[in-house]
Amino acid sequence: MSGKRKGLGRATVHDVAKLAGVSSITVSRYFKQPGIVSQGLRDRIADAVARLDYLPNHAAGGLASTHGRIVAMVIPNISGPIFANTIQSFSDELNRHGYQLLLASSSFSIEKEESAVRAFLGWSPAALVLTSQYHSEETERLIAKANMPIVETWDYVPARNPLQVGFSHVEVGRQSVAYLHGKGYERIAFVQNSMVGDLSALDRRDGYIAQMTENGLKPWVFVPTQADPFEAGRQAINALLLRPQPAEAIIFANDNLAAGGMLAGTRAGMSFPGDCAIFGFGNYAFAELLLPSLTTIRPPAREIGEIAALRILQALGDIPVEGAVPHLNLLDCELIVRESA
Amino acid sequence: MSGKRKGLGRATVHDVAKLAGVSSITVSRYFKQPGIVSQGLRDRIADAVARLDYLPNHAAGGLASTHGRIVAMVIPNISGPIFANTIQSFSDELNRHGYQLLLASSSFSIEKEESAVRAFLGWSPAALVLTSQYHSEETERLIAKANMPIVETWDYVPARNPLQVGFSHVEVGRQSVAYLHGKGYERIAFVQNSMVGDLSALDRRDGYIAQMTENGLKPWVFVPTQADPFEAGRQAINALLLRPQPAEAIIFANDNLAAGGMLAGTRAGMSFPGDCAIFGFGNYAFAELLLPSLTTIRPPAREIGEIAALRILQALGDIPVEGAVPHLNLLDCELIVRESA
DNA sequence: TTGTAGGCGTTATCAT
DNA sequence: ATGATAACGCCTACAA
């Protein structure tokens, strides 16, 4: 009586079709384009679905239609303070339109990114989202021949092929200098990220150097050797302030470093911004909880997720667009002036 | 020449098999159990795979084998400070064994959780992970008849059916009281979470009440009306300290509330723990950056993700176990004593 | 160790 | 508006 294979034991379109007295393709259409199924059949199908507790099998659907309603995303890390908002807004927006998120983290390693991309492509996702412009050659090759929308987030590099949704890190570096110089500071130092692999942070440093030079100031980059961001911040404060010509202002590559530096300084009896102005990047959750609260730049993390999802849904035809889907999406960072600078 | 349907345009097992001069099932085995394919064929297949740039189609594989190498997880939120570490460690551990993570957030809404579960089941995942014991009836029904390992994380409720990986929120509430009472405090207040839907936070409150009562102290619960955690913290400080018999110690439902309260108090000229001891929950990233640094309880967020992944991989046979896969996994929270209490 | 046959559940294509 | 048929790409079951 039984066939040779087991299956899931769940009801299938065929079961529903039989119970409703229609063909299975009609059941399929009932889910995909209810509009073209007549009212009478719709009711019968709805009833059968409820009675059999039918759940569509997306793996089968994806196989039959060459790609499923799934979108893959590779992000450097999930638990850090940076990308979580992007993942959240991206995921929410996709879910709202019936897509699911397949997620992996690369830990800022292009090898791990590559293996995630490879695994993801095997699922034939509807679209693929990466972070930044920095990938392995093999990843470049894979995405070049992948037949789906590809999106690069966070970095904004107009010359690249994938759809861009991000901001200019170089501009952030420049903006930081412009703000501090505008307030009269001249000996402005930059503390580089101690996190290896975060190449975008170096773009911010380059922007700092360019703007300092243009303003006739001397760039002064400190590279911490400590890996722990709070330790690195402490190290930077000691190196830049306990010297004959101390820094008047310090731009840290991110808020973690800035907080570590400020904490170490405060405990050593310094006061900010009195002894030195402190400027961060990221607007992490704690920035407004510090004493003094931290002046920083807020990257459009949530917006990046939203726009990336929007562009993908437009490219897939789930959201209407006028004309072509915008390929270049340059978002603004927000300068958040608080007490520290 | 061409068939009737398009497909992905990518090479398939059949193409690889033809080029290598073997049958397609041998190619399949080459990927799943390389050990049982002879060296000669392995080499020829490897060559063909490289030449054709073959990528396995996981949707097809999943369909054929009734469930794919994908694990689904529903979490209240991704961007908050709480669950990110769990997602990160869970995802990393799964990836390491060739599984991919399908993720959705519920925003603490059991309806959203239900719709995510429904969508996920359509992908026939190898396992399903939920957060906490609080679900809709329909979700309960769906997971009861789903034929796969189900894991509940964060809450630990031995009586429940799904595999449990978590800790006791009630115990956390008790532990907080025990620590503070042990230091001599008696007028110990509890500030409830203002986040609606976070039912587990109420379990911590219940533990607080139980332990206070057992210790012969009078429970004193303050419920903020402000939704923003920092505002709510400020509200609590005003209500509990600016009164004739002020609180000697305050346990906040989480570190956000504690930080907000402490900041408001500090700016109003209070000093901690001098005027009042402050105790949090969560050990958020900023806890050690505050002045004073925050005494709190660290939930085993990372460990929960690791153990959940381990148990799933054991249940699926990807990691060996002695005997049955442990169903009840009670993890410890860590009391982190800093300056604030 | 390797191969043959056919089904997993859905949807594209063509027909009515 | 609805249906019949076959195909999506892989893997289980059985055979050799």
- Interatomic CA–C1' length for residue B51 and nucleotide D1, angstroms: 47
State the amino acid at position A162 in one-letter form. P
Nearest-CA distance from B285 to chain A in Å?
8
How confident is the model over B202-222, as a mean pLDDT?
Answer: 97
* pLDDT at residue A310, rounded to an integer: 97
Q: Do A77 and B58 lie within an 8 Å CB cutoff?
A: no
Residues A180 and A281 in one domain: yes
In a domain, A64, yes or no: yes
Q: Identify the CATH number of the domain in which residue B67 sits.
A: 3.40.50.2300
In a domain, A2, yes or no: no
The answer to whether strand D lies under 7 Å from the CB of residue A25 is yes
| Domain boundaries, position A192 | 169-298
Site of tokens 């408001």:
B264
Q: Are A292 and A272 in contact (CB under 8 A)?
A: yes
Q: Do A291 and B291 lie within an 8 Å CB cutoff?
A: yes
Confidence of residue A3 (pLDDT cuts 50, 70, 90): very low
Q: Look up residue A195 and give its two tokens.
A: 């996190």
- Interatomic CA–C1' length for residue B56 and nucleotide D8, angstroms: 13
Residues A181 and A287 in one domain: yes
- Selected for mutation to probe chain B from A49, A63, A262, A303 (highest B CB count within 10 Å) is A63
Class of residue B127 by CB neighbours under 10 A (exposed 0-12, middle 13-18, buried 19+): buried
Per-residue pLDDT tens over the stretch B295-314: 999 999 999 999 999 999 99
Residues A50 and A71 in one domain: no
How confident is the model over A208-234, as a mean pLDDT?
Answer: 94
Range name among A179-193, B184-198, B253-267 with the lowest pLDDT average: B184-198
Beta strand pairing status for B277-279 and B296-298? unpaired
State the amino acid at position B278 in one-letter form. I
In a domain, B177, yes or no: yes
In a domain, A339, yes or no: no
Residues B293 and B305 in one domain: no
* pLDDT at residue B6, rounded to an integer: 66
State the amino acid at position B136 in one-letter form. S
Residues B210 and B309 in one domain: no
* pLDDT at residue A5, rounded to an integer: 62
In a domain, B2, yes or no: no
Query: Looking at the 3D structure of chain B, how many domains does it have?
Result: 3
* pLDDT at residue B82, rounded to an integer: 87
Is the per-residue pLDDT at B4 higher than 80? no
In a domain, A8, yes or no: no
Residues A176 and A161 in one domain: no
Nearest-CA distance from A134 to chain B in Å?
21
Q: Do A259 and B286 lie within an 8 Å CB cutoff?
A: yes
CA A325 to chain centre: 20
Residues B161 and B188 in one domain: no
* pLDDT at residue B10, rounded to an integer: 84
Chain C: bases < 7 Å from a protein Cβ: 1-14
Q: Are B17 and B24 in contact (CB under 8 A)?
A: yes
Q: Look up residue B243 and give its two tokens.
A: 């009164």
Contacts with B, A 42-71, CB within 8 Å: 53, 55-60, 62-63, 66-68, 70
Half-sphere exposure of A22 (CA within 13 A, CB side): 23
Confidence of residue B34 (pLDDT cuts 50, 70, 90): confident
Task: Return contacts of B12-15, CB within 8 angstroms, 24+ apart.
Answer: B12/B54, B12/B57, B13/B54, B13/B56, B15/B48, B15/B52, B15/B54
Q: B318 — contact with chain A (CB < 8 Å)?
A: no
Residues B174 and B260 in one domain: yes
Q: Which of A91, A123, A286 sits opposite B78 (nearest CB)?
A: A91
Q: Which residue is nearest to nucleotide D12 (CA to C1')?
A: A5
Residues A247 and A312 in one domain: no
Q: Cα Rg for chain B, rounded, in angstroms? A: 26
The answer to whether strand C lies under 7 Å from the CB of residue B119 is no
Q: Look up residue B215 and give its two tokens.
A: 């210790």
In a domain, B252, yes or no: yes
Site of tokens 């398009």:
B6
Confidence of residue B1 (pLDDT cuts 50, 70, 90): very low
Residues A227 and A253 in one domain: yes
The answer to whether strand D lies under 7 Å from the CB of residue A147 is no
Model pTM?
0.93
Q: Do A95 and B87 lie within an 8 Å CB cutoff?
A: no
Q: B291 — contact with chain A (CB < 8 Å)?
A: yes
The answer to whether strand C lies under 7 Å from the CB of residue A124 is no
Residues B173 and B277 in one domain: yes
Tell me the CA distances in angstroms from A177 to A166, A187, A189, A245, one per residue in order. Answer: 21, 11, 9, 19
Residues B156 and B248 in one domain: no
In a domain, A336, yes or no: no
